[in-house]
Chain A
Amino acid sequence: MEFALQKLPVLVLLIPMLSFLVLAFFGKRLPRGGDWFGTSLLFINLAISGFILIAFGVAGRYELNLEWFNLGNNNVLGLTKFFAGFQIDELTAIMLVVVNAISAFVHLFSIKYMEGDTKYTRYYAFLGLFTFSMLGLVLTNNILLMYVFWELVGLSSYLLIGFWYEKKAPQEAAKKAFLVNRIGDVGFFLGISVLFLTIGSLTFTDIFAGVAAGKLAGGTLTAAGLLLFCGAVGKSAQFPLHVWLPDAMEGPTPVSALIHAATMVAAGVYLVARIFVILSADALTVVTFIGIITAFISATIALTQNDIKKVLAYSTISQLGYMIMAIGVGAYSFGFFHLVTHAFFKACLFLTAGSVIYGMHHIQDIREMGGLRKKMPITFYTFLMATLAISGVPLTSGFLSKDAILSATLAFAGVNGGVTYIVPILAFGVAGLTAFYMFRLLIITFLGEPKNQEKYDHCHESPWQMTIPLISLAVLSFFGFFSLNPLSADHGWFLSMVKMPESILAGTKGAFYHILPLEEFTEHLHHAHTTAMILSLLISGIGILTAFVFYYWKKVNVDKLTDSIKPLYNFSLNKWYFDELYDKTAVAFTMSLSRLSSWFDAKVVDGVVNGSASFTRVFSKYTGLFDNIFVDGLVNLMGGLVGAFGLLFRKFQTGKIQTYIAFLVFGIIILYFVFRAM
């Protein structure tokens, strides 16, 4: 068991890297583009990570801290040695299994889905790179290394969103995702800097110890927490940086399932969970409200979307908001629990969507579907299972986690009172909306009459490579995998393993928020549990029922209804005009700024350069003239002079001695007269 915790995590991290390297360099030479290689490696990895989880359950927490680099005689803030390593705690152990499981299923699913793509091998290589980065992110015990892996997942997400870069939309979406994430990451990095400057270490253990020792407190601590949270806002697509995730759906659907639904976007939630114990009351207030606002906004947008992947994307954002909010209100384990259950059923939803898109030959608009239940029974039942889970129907994993979160919001509002009652109200509202729009999606897609007969006739059930992941993920959405009690997960293995940690700042108060000591909070949770469960059942039931009334039995004319609330409907259909708002403000500002700098560059900088160039040209023209006329003239003059003298003196050189003698005589005569005159 010791061995499993000491050596296997390194292996788990390196196997996807191996997959990436082999496929990137030799993939084209492998039979079938090497898909079997990546897929089988990932299933091996899943087995190993399962073993690590068991080993962790037996042996407990393990941390390996190695010297990262040594500055020798130099120092930064008095430090000469920097440490990094990995840690296996409950978050890491569970995340390893979740990431590997979904990655393995997505690998398997993609064999058919991506079949015949010209960049098939590259796709598998990128999947390996992503899995490597994501595993690194959850394994490391050092926040700076975490940031490095954080950026690596961002990179692989960028590569995979823009996988079909020949088309315009994926290019734009990839760019948008990358840039929007950058905004959050700047905050994240500043947060790391604050931690490093005040605490002087980058490992989580030291950071928590430092905060406990009071090295970082008050406003600075709140600021550090909020800056780190910025990273999570970007990566987990929280309001106001949520706009990239719906566009990211331009990537291949299995990628959406892996990266933009189950794992990468959960990295932000994972980060908030990691730093939960050092978040101050004010920071937690912000976290809570950002979470619930995100959940609410995206749930309302999801109501009216017609693209099957867009609905799922907004539902993802909404559920991520739920998780963030759950951690914000102090229900750390519940938030993380929801992350895990959501990862499975949302991956299942996306893969079923992929299966539908595959079966319908790349139709994504649900208005063209309908009646697919008969054609694609397996896809339908797995989709139904996942939809029940996300709607919070009992006997599913989603019910357990959602119910726990709702009870936590009730407990939170009960403790803090006043304005904070908004949180449970909106949370329950979102639960109802979620049930409604998910069943709307299900009914329009799978039930009723086919809308596009031609496509419907050609539609077929997907092959086994696709249905096996679907069935596996649907099965994993049952309650039994997390708790044997279908109504409460409190005594299941999951919540027994992921214990609520007590915040280091327990007992402190913020403006709206009172961080209770753990025991007191648990007490409140117990009281809220039954109320929450009944309320959530009621609200989900209403949501589901409304969906059936609207879209299945058609008792209400939906078109008329939408007409009567046209402004609201358009507001939702156009995603609250966030894209337009950002286009008008941030993008327009950036564009005008860059136009200004472009103008400055073109006119002023280039002007200076061109000016000096033309000045040099004119100047050199005149120096050229001076050189040609004056200097050359002088030299030529000398030459000409010497030539003329030569011509003159050549006359004397006749070669006849007699002439010479004659000159001699004349010379002597001249000399005679000269000397006589002297």
Chain B
Amino acid sequence: MEIGLNHYLVLGAVLFGLGLFAMISRRNAILVLMGIELILNAANINLVAFSRYCGLGVNGQVVSIFVIILAVAEAAVALGIVLNLYNNFASVDIDEANTMKD
């Protein structure tokens, strides 16, 4: 069986779904971040797959590199926020961080 575009897309969709699920269902801030990473990587797979199978040249790969860089920056900032969260609440449970609601 030859590996085609559809396989990649399915893989991307499964990754996206898992990432989304992690993002929605986890209460731990770190895990939520990890979900986001999964979603970004699912997008990267799609970009690379489309650049490989649709004759777009390297454009898709370049964009995915940008996304990786962006993910790094985002992870740095987000972890900083999580660290602050922990400093303030002695926990990384995002349900605890609801003081602005009341």
Beta-carbon contact of A665 and B101 below 8 Å: no
Please tell me if B83 contacts chain A, counting CB pairs below 8 Å.
no
Beta-carbon contact of A658 and B98 below 8 Å: no
Please tell me if B2 contacts chain A, counting CB pairs below 8 Å.
no
Beta-carbon contact of A661 and B100 below 8 Å: no
Beta-carbon contact of B20 and A661 below 8 Å: yes
Beta-carbon contact of B23 and A658 below 8 Å: yes
CB distance from A522 to the nearest CB of B (A): 126
CB within 8 Å for A656 and B100 given contacts A661-B20, A661-B23, A665-B20: no
How big is chain A's contact interface, by range? under 10
Residues of chain B contacted by A657 (CB below 8 angstroms): 94
For the complex, give the distance between the alpha carbons of A657 and B97 in Å: 11
For the complex, give the distance between the alpha carbons of A432 and B54 in Å: 157
Beta-carbon contact of B24 and A655 below 8 Å: no
Q: Which residue of B lies closest to A660 (CB)?
A: B24
Within 8 A of B (CB), among A631-678: 655-658, 661-662, 665
For the complex, give the distance between the alpha carbons of A657 and B29 in Å: 12
Q: Which of A656, A661, A662, A665 contacts B95 (CB 8 A)?
A: A656
For the complex, give the distance between the alpha carbons of A655 and B97 in Å: 10
Chain B, 74-102, contact with A by CB distance < 8 Å: what is the 0/1 string? 00000000000000000000110010110
Within 8 A of B (CB), among A541-555: none
Chain A, 204-245, contact with B by CB distance < 8 Å: what is the 0/1 string? 000000000000000000000000000000000000000000
Beta-carbon contact of B101 and A658 below 8 Å: no
Beta-carbon contact of A662 and B24 below 8 Å: yes
Residues of chain B contacted by A661 (CB below 8 angstroms): 20, 23-24
Q: Which of A656, A662, A665 contacts B98 (CB 8 A)?
A: A656
For the complex, give the distance between the alpha carbons of A612 and B24 in Å: 73
Q: How many residues of chain B have a CB within 8 Å of chain A?
A: 10
CB within 8 Å for A665 and B24 given contacts A656-B95, A658-B94: yes
Q: Which residue of B lies closest to A658 (CB)?
A: B24
Chain A, 238-268, contact with B by CB distance < 8 Å: what is the 0/1 string? 0000000000000000000000000000000
Beta-carbon contact of B101 and A655 below 8 Å: yes
For the complex, give the distance between the alpha carbons of A665 and B32 in Å: 16
For the complex, give the distance between the alpha carbons of A481 and B33 in Å: 141
Beta-carbon contact of A655 and B100 below 8 Å: yes
Q: Which residue of B lies closest to A663 (CB)?
A: B24
CB distance from A328 to the nearest CB of B (A): 113
Chain B, 14-46, contact with A by CB distance < 8 Å: what is the 0/1 string? 000000100111000000100000000000000
For the complex, give the distance between the alpha carbons of A657 and B98 in Å: 11
Q: Which residue of B lies closest to A657 (CB)?
A: B94
Residues of chain B contacted by A658 (CB below 8 angstroms): 23-25, 32, 94
Residues of chain A contacted by B20 (CB below 8 angstroms): 661, 665
CB distance from B96 to the nearest CB of A (A): 11
Residues of chain A contacted by B95 (CB below 8 angstroms): 656
Beta-carbon contact of A655 and B98 below 8 Å: yes
Q: Which residue of A lies closest to B32 (CB)?
A: A658
CB distance from B2 to the nearest CB of A (A): 29
Residues of chain A contacted by B25 (CB below 8 angstroms): 658
Residues of chain B contacted by A655 (CB below 8 angstroms): 98, 100-101
Chain A, 268-303, contact with B by CB distance < 8 Å: what is the 0/1 string? 000000000000000000000000000000000000
CB distance from B38 to the nearest CB of A (A): 14
For the complex, give the distance between the alpha carbons of A655 and B94 in Å: 11
CB distance from A663 to the nearest CB of B (A): 10
For the complex, give the distance between the alpha carbons of A665 and B19 in Å: 12
Q: Which residue of A lies closest to B95 (CB)?
A: A656
For the complex, give the distance between the alpha carbons of A658 and B29 in Å: 11
Of B20, B24, B95, which is in contact with the most chain A CB atoms at under 10 Å from its CB?
Answer: B24
Residues of chain B contacted by A665 (CB below 8 angstroms): 20, 24
Question: Across chains A and B, which 3 residue pairs bring their CB atoms closest together, nearest first?
Answer: A655-B101, A662-B24, A658-B24
Chain B interface residues toward A at CB < 8 A: 20, 23-25, 32, 94-95, 98, 100-101
Q: List 18 A-B contacts (CB under 8 A).
A: A655-B98, A655-B100, A655-B101, A656-B94, A656-B95, A656-B98, A657-B94, A658-B23, A658-B24, A658-B25, A658-B32, A658-B94, A661-B20, A661-B23, A661-B24, A662-B24, A665-B20, A665-B24
Further 16 A-B residue pairs, CB within 8 A, beyond A655-B100, A658-B94? A655-B98, A655-B101, A656-B94, A656-B95, A656-B98, A657-B94, A658-B23, A658-B24, A658-B25, A658-B32, A661-B20, A661-B23, A661-B24, A662-B24, A665-B20, A665-B24
